[in-house]
Amino acid sequence: MAHLSKTRLAALTCAASVALAPVTAAQADSHKDQDSKDMNSVSAKATPPVAKKVPHTYTHHGITIEDPYDWLYDKSYPTVDDEDVLDYVKAENAYFEANMNPLEAQTEALFQEMKARIKEDDSSVPQRRGEFLYWTEYKEGDQYPRFYRKPVGAPADAKGEVILDQNEMAEGLEYFRLGAFAVSQNGRFMAYATDTNGSERYTARIKDLETGEILADEITEIRGGLTWVANDTALVYTPSTEEWRSLEVKLHTIGQPSDTDVTLYLEEDQSFSVGAGLTAQDDYLIIATGDNETSEVRFVSASDPTGELTLVRPREKGVEYSVDIREGEMFIWTNDDHVNFRLAKAALETPSEWETVIAGSDDFYLTGFSLFKDFFVTEGRLNGLDKVQIRQYASPQTVQSITFPEESYDAGLSNNPEYDQTKLRLAYESMITPDTVYDYDVSADTLETLKTQEIPSGYNRADYITRRVEIEARDGTMVPVSVVMHKDREKILAEQGIEGPGPLHLYAYGAYGYAIPPGFSTSRLSLVDRGFAYAIAHIRGGDDLGRKWYLEGKLMERTNTFNDFVDVGRGLIDMGLTAEGRVTASGGSAGGELMGAIVNQDPKQYGAVVAHVPFVDVLNTMLNEDLPLTPGEWQEWGNPITSKEAFAFILSYSPYDQVSAQEYPPMLVTAGLNDPRVTYWEPAKWVAKLRDTKTDDNVLLMKTNMGAGHGGKSGRWNSLFETAEEFSFLLWQMGLSVEVSEAQTGG
């Protein structure tokens, strides 16, 4: 509900039978010895694919670039049917399997260990919307959740009605993902959208929840949400263009052919994306359009969506805003006069005349707001820590802040669909505290714990410690880092015969103003319990420390992001938490670009690197305005087509272009053949060039999911197994093994 925040681009059981132990100190120091030698011998025997070179050059701004691996970009994309391309990708997959097969038992052991920490038959806390309570449940063995509901006031032990079973829908499919999901306000109809190949081109259907019938209505090739309007007789949606852009908002009336759907708004700027949603009281339809730095919003009565749209304020480059409406008054979140945003309000009759409600602040970063009947909520960060604040309409400067129990955490509003609420549903976690669901009683100022994530194989919070440290980057900027480790880490390492600092895994994203919170992970314990420290670097490019923190990591300041990550790793080494060559690192998408940049800059620091769907061919992608996301990305990276300065700067850091004849650490790279965000050829070209150029014999693996997209395999167990593969690779390269019991080898 509430205002439409800007969408960020931006992206993964039986423990008693698994005995897990690393190898000796000598093995750990060499990274490759004894058991590891057996694994590496397979790598030596297996022959890595060698991609052919086909002469290809291009010239911009008087600069000519050679790109002999351009042929890996199938020009018929999104169809990929070039046999040479497919043969190469399959050969890389075969090489991946040849190297990972000797780790099969280890990977399976890790998977079972991770799986044992997840409650298989789990459910969410029911939440009221209208006349029903809604929740999700997993049954034992389920890959996907089932959606349930029951009437408000039904007995507590009354069974709910299954309104959507994703497991049933996914049966027989290699890939399945549920996108938008919306129940009509009267509770009768449910609209849902599904993707069956990872391309993120969804098909929407409508179910009559009274009869169980799936209506004949079908809307194909959609993106974004589904919004019920016109007294639940019609749906608002955003179709995808052939180039996978969202430029249009359309209206579908139940029972009518989709080719008669009405266009409510059409965006002419190819760099913008549109979306739609309802206001707090469900009485207005908001249509918002924008790119990564500029917004424009219109609204219309939800009961008459084909009526004339009212423009709130014309777009102005660099000004972002979003709106919500309550009791005939508009509230606006905007950065028009302060980088950290302010909250304003306006009359519906004069929506462009904004009056400040909460002024922008150098200290407090306002990230959003939500309107309710008797109060409103502002969310933001103070010194990088999440704050949830309740304010009264009559006295918005009086702040009622919710107090959380730890010094470092991730917290915010969860699902609060009702306008008239006296309690707020909150989500909370920290590096050592599992996911916790609270209800906050606004009048009593009290938190009630409704659910804490259960870890069936056992978890003792007191066994772990978390720290938040600051490390100075090369330009003097202090970069915050969240670290978690076992309290007996030194003892664990000593028992393994490991002398000196142990391994440390470093993770970051660093783009689009997306902050990586210091949250909880059960999978992460498989590294931490073996003596790893695990660190999240809150580098520039995210907005962890405010909007300025994001701006200092984009466009012509993009390299701050890479430098921050490298310097954080070096700082953690200086602190004695790890040593050179004992740092492992991972990141995905734009975080994969980060991985490509840091191994070019400081390869000796890392013992192993995992780059998931990495955005590494930055220059070529930003030069190709026909690709799905490129026009909208120029505000993030720069436009090398029109700007020689942007061209030269992107060229100077683009990981693919900057591959050089040097030693690189062992690397695992992933891709998705149907990925519309980071196209498969980016990691493919990068790996091909690395193989041809690097001077070491370290293993370089690439795994392409042939039937999936940006997020890897679908389903909770399939996805978890891919995490087990990643961790198995990291442990292998750190010289650590997993002792596997007979139960797992079939003995």
Please name the amino acid found at residue 420: D
Residue 183: how many other CB atoms lie within 10 Å: 24
CA distances from 506 to 2, 258, 440, 480, 581 (A): 36, 48, 34, 13, 12
Q: Which of 271, 710, 714, 737 is catalytic?
A: 710
Residue 686: how many other CB atoms lie within 10 Å: 28
Q: Which of 199, 589, 714, 737 is catalytic?
A: 589
Of all helices (H) and strands (E), which one includes residue 561?
helix 559-574
Crossing angle of the two packed helices 35-45 and 83-100, in degrees rounded to 10? 160
Q: Which of 648-675 are b and which e, b meaning 16 or more Cβ less than 10 Å from the residue's Cβ? A: ebbbebbbbbbbeeeebbbbbbbbbbbb
- The CA-CA-CA angle for residues 32, 35, 37, to 5°, reads 45
Residue 394: how many other CB atoms lie within 10 Å: 6
Using CB atoms within 10 A of its CB, is residue 322 exposed (0-12), middle (13-18) or buried (19+)? buried
d(CA 680, CA 693): 20
| Beta strand spans in 515-666 (E) | 533-537, 583-588, 606-612
Residue for token pair 């660093």: 510
- The CA-CA-CA angle for residues 232, 235, 238, to 5°, reads 160
Query: Contact 501/577 with Cβ under 8 angstroms?
Result: yes
Of all helices (H) and strands (E), which one includes residue 653?
helix 644-653
CA atoms within a 13 Å half-sphere pointing along the CA-CB vector of 393: 13
Using CB atoms within 10 A of its CB, is residue 417 exposed (0-12), middle (13-18) or buried (19+)? middle
Tokens encoding 610: 């995992």
Write down the H helix ranges in 101-233.
104-115, 166-170
- The CA-CA-CA angle for residues 727, 606, 718, to 5°, reads 20
Q: Which of 67, 261, 544, 675 is catalytic?
A: 675
For the question of residue 675 being annotated catalytic, the response is yes
Would strands 606-612 and 376-382 be described as parallel, antiparallel, or unpaired?
unpaired
Residue for token pair 């991985």: 595
3-state secondary structure of 547: helix
**Cβ contacts of residue 427 below 8 Å, gap of 6+?**
411, 412, 413, 414, 435, 436, 437, 438
Cis before 78? omega within 30: yes
d(CA 167, CA 595): 35
Question: If you ran DSSP here, which 8-state letter would residue 406 be given?
Answer: S
- The CA-CA-CA angle for residues 719, 105, 673, to 5°, reads 35
Please name the amino acid found at residue 298: R
3-state secondary structure of 99: helix
Name which of 690, 467, 677 is nearest 596 in CA terms: 690
Please name the amino acid found at residue 27: Q
d(CA 216, CA 208): 11
Tokens encoding 351: 């929506």
Question: If you ran DSSP here, which 8-state letter would residue 184 be given?
Answer: -
Query: Contact 126/134 with Cβ under 8 angstroms?
Result: yes
Would strands 446-452 and 436-441 be described as parallel, antiparallel, or unpaired?
antiparallel
Question: If you ran DSSP here, which 8-state letter would residue 709 be given?
Answer: B
Crossing angle of the two packed helices 83-100 and 681-693, in degrees rounded to 10? 70
Catalytic positions are 589, 675, 710
